[in-house]
Amino acid sequence: MKSILAALAITTALTLPATAWARPVTIDTTLKNYSGNGAYLAVYVTDANGVYKGSLWMAGGKSKYYQHLSDWQRATGGSLSEINGITGASVGSGRKLSITLNLADALFDAGYQVHVDAAVEDMRESPSEVVVPLTTAGTGKATPGRRYIESFSYNM
């Protein structure tokens, strides 16, 4: 029994500090009603200088179309390793993509930005359709996209 309690104490000691360094964030992206196929979306982060720091989510499963997410493609060189394990289905017209993930506290209020690139088959590409600063004050505030995205927001 003592070894179980000791193991639990060690596990708790390791996980509790980790929660102080990251927080769950829900990202909601609602698409406009447009006539066309599902949209491919790349959600990624850049620093204050616009330097790519990482991908958060890729909506759309066929990698041959990722080249149409041109800002993401340019930032990553199209590296599929950037999206391993974080890929889902494309998002249909008028539908909502909602993802929850842990983001490091250091990303907030430090000049980082969230970008969303969008592309729809047989329609125009929309690089950096949405670009929003990652701030604690911005939580819950909807931002409209330029072409396919009705609104984008994040909540902590």
pLDDT tens track for 141-151: 999 999 999 99
For the chain, list residues with pLDDT below 50: 1-20
pLDDT of residue 21: 84
pLDDT of residue 115: 98
Give the Cα separation of 95 and 41 in Å (integer): 13
Phi-psi region of 109 (alpha: psi -120 to 50; beta: other; left: phi over 0): left
pLDDT of residue 89: 95
pLDDT of residue 147: 97
Give the Cα separation of 25 and 104 in Å (integer): 10
pLDDT of residue 3: 37
Beta bridge partner(s), residue 40: 119
Buried b (16+ CB within 10 A) or exposed e, 77-100: eeeeebbeeeeeebbeeeeebebe
